[in-house]
Amino acid sequence: MIDFFIGAAQAADAAQPTTEQNMMSILMLVVLFAVFYFLLIRPQQKRVKEHEAMTESLKKGDEIVTFGGVLGRVTELGDAFVDVEISNNVVVKVQKKSVATVMPKGTIAEA
């Protein structure tokens, strides 16, 4: 009968994770977070900063494309909105943040 309890006690000791196993688990979590940071989070933050810099550098006469695919020329600038001429005497007001790219001069004439 005592052999039964001794075997159970030894099995319980073997089931306990060691400090080394705990440290490896923590290290793997840290490595996983670092990989996510450098492959996902950091590039996204860089793109956001580039987009903010582009929208802040907009000026009158720039030819732009919005995220909706509208091509036009900037006619007026505001703090949050931009007036864009998309055709002769057709001006729409869009948010600055909806500007996707600034196109090279002459793009509208070619389109």
Residue 109 has a pLDDT of 84
Residue 20 has a pLDDT of 87
Better-predicted residue by pLDDT, 23 or 3: 23
Is residue 1 scored above 80 in pLDDT? no
Residue 55 has a pLDDT of 95
Residue 9 has a pLDDT of 56
Q: Are 54 and 97 in contact (CB under 8 A)?
A: no
Residue 42 has a pLDDT of 95
Q: How confident is the model at residue 19 (pLDDT cuts 50, 70, 90)?
A: confident
Query: And the tokens for 36?
Result: 């996510």
Give 59's contacts (C-beta < 8 A, 6+ positions apart).
Answer: 74, 77
The pLDDT of 12-36, averaged and rounded, is 84
